[in-house]
Amino acid sequence: MINIVLFGKPGAGKGTQAEFLKTKYNLKHISTGDLFRYHKSNNTELGQLAQSYSDKGYLVPDDVTIKMLQDEVERNPDTNGFLFDGFPRTIAQAEALDAFLESKSWSVTATVALEANDEILVARLLERGKTSGRADDQDEALIRKRYQEYNEKTAPLADYYKQQQKFYEVDGIGSVEEVTERLSLVIDKFN
């Protein structure tokens, strides 16, 4: 089983690359954003709970996010592995993911970070914002705030996974095909 954690700053190309990687390696793509949308739109118990936090302006607590992720893994027992996109975002989430996978006699195979210069990423998001309809892609100050939060909360995951010798950096700049090829060179080591 191959379990890949894919992370990088907003605009680094995680979603685009996840579409190629899930097909190429027959992995179940789990995006926390998609999970939140699914649970909220289907008015599940977890969706209602997540919405109750969002309605008050709070971030959804880790335990709710982790439960959504666990449920999604449980619904896909016959996959070749998972591609985690947008999770974990913190050390506490990484530890929870490790514990959950260990309970199934699995582990994170590799963590791959799509790296790119902030200025290039800001330009990408502003361009995407012209068609995505996402307000957070149309305001440079909001984009930079997202990067600051990433640097404070998510970037420390690099050290966490480096200690486990599971961290790989991939240049996220270039054509979609070039970046996919770079990612494949990492993942093929485990396939």
Residues taking part in catalysis: 14, 89, 128, 134, 146
- Show Cβ contacts of residue 190 under 8 Å, excluding neighbours closer than 6 positions: 2, 109, 110
Query: Rounded to the nearest 10 degrees, what angle do helices 14-25 and 176-187 cross at?
Result: 50
Three-state DSSP at 31 gives: strand
Q: Which amino acid is at 60?
A: V
* Helices of type H across the chain: 14-25, 32-41, 45-55, 62-74, 91-103, 118-132, 140-149, 157-163, 176-187
For the beta carbon of residue 187, count every other beta carbon within 10 angstroms: 22
Three-state DSSP at 123 gives: helix
Q: Which amino acid is at 129?
A: G
